[in-house]
């Protein structure tokens, strides 16, 4: 896959032209996929390009109100590839881009950088200095620079618009089922397995501590039935996400017990897919009470995952 970033004058424009989908695409939910799918019926000679942002525009425009992300940029790349995208243009939303006119944006990035022949955006798309560019502006500029524009309506799930904000709200409630329906896949966190305090191993329930980025959305604290993706293979698991109140801790951790797995995971990259919520995180009076509850949690996870159809 080709990844373009930085000054578009250094990009290699596709000689046969490109079909470009533009958006933040945070989490690449079903609404985003609807935008990408509109590229599928076009001339096969056109390069399929997803134009996205390395940092959310709100990080510059409203730093205090910038949302946490539903996916890292690395994860977004994987999801784009799964969706049939050939090429990714990563834009850095900086002061130069914030002050760029709509015409300059189209000329530099779409016409010169990507030789665009078709551009698709979601309804309400705005671009350029002071968000002066609208979908109508884009259509007019498309006539000037030789590309067609398609505007896609917002997708809905059971009457609710599918938006990244709605998915964040579902996750903050611990409703991973609802989030998965809007994403079209389970929500996941990923990171490197780092050493913990070894308490899980001491009580016979070894866990992998996954160090995930601080910039991503964290579901409501609690215990979940999850799928742990290790070296590309999914394994049933149970995860505790929270601060471990029984041990008097206050640092946020994601501890994953992979069922029937006895190999060391230290240093490995682990992706954790949240399938079902089991319970809230609570403080136990004793380690014995905690251990009894963990065994119940494992049984619940096994039951929940048996009903899960990938």
> How high is the mean pLDDT in each 10-residue block of the chain (310 residues)?
90 95 93 91 92 71 71 92 93 83 95 96 90 94 96 85 93 96 96 78 79 92 96 94 67 90 89 96 79 90 84
User: Which has the closest alpha carbon to 255: 210, 288, 290, 285?
Assistant: 210
- Pairing state between β 269-279 and 222-230: antiparallel
CA angle (168 as vertex; 163, 169 as ends), nearest 5? 100
Assigned domain for 227 exists: yes
My answer on whether 97 and 12 are in the same domain is yes
Distance between CA 16 and CA 44 in Å, rounded? Answer: 10
Assigned domain for 175 exists: no
Which range marks the domain in which residue 91 is found? 2-154
My answer on whether 20 and 95 are in the same domain is yes
For residue 201, the model assigns a pLDDT of 64
Bridge partners of 4, per DSSP, are: 89
Identify the CATH number of the domain in which residue 197 sits.
2.40.30.30
For residue 98, the model assigns a pLDDT of 82
pTM equals 0.88
Here the tokens at position 44 are: 């096969």
What DSSP string runs through 239-295? EEEE--GGGT--S-EEEEEETT--S--TT-EEEEEEEEEEE-----SSHHHHHHHHH
For residue 309, the model assigns a pLDDT of 64
My answer on whether 120 and 17 are in the same domain is yes
My answer on whether 131 and 270 are in the same domain is no
Identify the CATH number of the domain in which residue 70 sits.
3.40.50.620
For residue 175, the model assigns a pLDDT of 97
My answer on whether 135 and 204 are in the same domain is no
Beta strands per DSSP E along 30-102: 47-53, 87-91
Q: Domain total for the chain? A: 2
For residue 264, the model assigns a pLDDT of 84
CB 110 within 8 A of CB 125: no
For residue 40, the model assigns a pLDDT of 83
For residue 271, the model assigns a pLDDT of 95
């Amino acid at each position: 896959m080709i990844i373009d970033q930085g000054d578009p004058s250094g990009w290699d424009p596709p000689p046969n032209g490109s079909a470009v989908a533009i958006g933040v695409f945070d989490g690449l939910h079903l609404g985003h996929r609807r935008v990408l799918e509109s590229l599928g019926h076009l001339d096969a000679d056109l390069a399929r390009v997803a134009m996205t942002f390395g940092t959310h525009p709100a990080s510059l425009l409203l730093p205090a109100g910038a949302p946490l992300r539903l996916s890292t940029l690395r994860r977004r790349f994987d999801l784009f590839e799964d969706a049939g995208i050939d090429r990714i243009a990563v834009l850095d939303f900086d002061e130069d881009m914030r002050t760029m006119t709509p015409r300059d944006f189209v000329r530099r990035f779409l016409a010169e950088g990507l030789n665009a022949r078709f551009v698709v955006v979601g309804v309400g798309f705005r671009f350029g200095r002071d968000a002066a560019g609208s979908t109508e502006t884009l259509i007019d500029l498309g006539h000037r620079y030789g590309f067609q524009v398609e505007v896609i309506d917002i997708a809905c799930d059971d009457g609710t618009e599918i938006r990244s904000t709605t998915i964040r709200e579902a996750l903050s409630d611990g409703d991973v089922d609802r989030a998965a329906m809007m994403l079209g896949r389970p929500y996941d966190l990923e990171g490197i397995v780092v050493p913990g305090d070894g308490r899980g191993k001491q009580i016979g329930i070894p866990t992998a501590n996954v160090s995930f980025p601080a910039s991503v959305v964290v579901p409501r604290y609690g215990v979940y039935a999850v799928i742990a993706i290790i070296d590309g293979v999914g394994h049933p698991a149970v995860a505790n996400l929270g601060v471990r109140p029984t041990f008097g801790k206050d640092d946020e951790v994601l501890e994953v017990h992979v069922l029937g797995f006895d190999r060391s995971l230290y240093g490995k990259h682990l992706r954790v897919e949240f399938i079902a919520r089991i319970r809230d995180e609570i403080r136990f009076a004793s380690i014995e009470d905690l251990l009894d509850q963990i065994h119940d949690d494992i049984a619940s996870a096994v039951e929940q995952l048996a009903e899960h159809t990938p």
